[in-house]
Structure 1
């Protein structure tokens, strides 16, 4: 560390390679999945962040380019979530779920002036909210589909008893889909005690004081919690109403 910043250089490259190799080895030896996926994810992160680092310089000079960049982030999040859920053709409905969580939160914090309408402030806040909502929404929808597929007999029994399709599906999938909110809830409960999240550390490294860093992190955490709660609710509703056309039937 030098002046509060991570030192970029050969040592950093070596450390990153070693950490990625460690993660891949653990996944491979522990039978946790594909080690190649770990390596590919790490390499993609390097390439994407390098590209973004160059692009962001131009983006931050223009309000219009900033808006376009945020829209690009949202589009990528929608496509990624739709693929994770297994409904790539229903990306428009996935966008409804993500947008339902992201738009009110970003609209409130920007319209209120809590976050200044400056590209350097808008881009990181938007990225954090969009990314968190994408993960929670995709996880909730996947859990809902998996639960309905596993307990399809119970769903049919509920229909036989006269429950409407949506109500029967919600009875089966809503409790498990709600588990997608456990990570943000735990992070919010334990912030400052167990973890010092990225926004807090980033503001500190940027030279701001601890109070400013704490206020920024609090806004991020509560905003994320609100956006993810709405996104999860909409995702479950869309699955139950079959707007997301995932196959529930057992295979």
Structure 2
């Protein structure tokens, strides 16, 4: 059976050998985890050696008069801890939407000039969203975003609209034969105005929330011009069921 000193040398040799593994990201994470566990084993064995060296040696007399040294058990290894970070999963999306003018149950008839689909979307089943910007970069800032609520999620947006009414914020609007609510929500970037928003009633079980980013809204002459563009987008929204 190897001595504690031999175990310690072997562990240190193993640790040195691991340092020459290939430097790819996943391997580095796994290797770091293993090194942490190995350092724990080394520290435990070193502590055990110190205790053995410092403890007085007691001799006992065995039957027949022979002298015996009591057996010393090594400290057991600490339990391994799996501290490898989890791999994040991709959020649910609507997939490839082409030009972005049709997404799930909604079709977009009008968008301001110069915008293209951002190649970004989220799909949570009863609520889903996508956006448009200048360059189609999914990591870029949005200009226009539409969030659709269906089924049970309609109550959430209706409650929010009612809160705006109670606070005296925003106004009721008519969009053709449909109703909507115009309001500026939240606080914008760097203390600017919040997000110009039109919430459109598209039927008993569907609402569409149309938003301009505060930065994009600044390109229009005034608030009335922003409201007109939001209303034109709302007019062009249709549903397939």
Q: Same fold by TM-score, threshold 0.5 exceeded?
A: no
TM-score range, shorter chain: under 0.3
Question: TM-score, length-normalised on structure 1?
Answer: 0.26
Q: Which has the higher contact order (CA 8 A, sep 6+)?
A: 1
Q: Which protein has the larger Cα radius of gyration, Structure 1 or Structure 2?
A: 2
Question: TM-score, length-normalised on structure 2?
Answer: 0.27
Q: Which structure shows the bigger proportion of residues in helix conformation?
A: 1
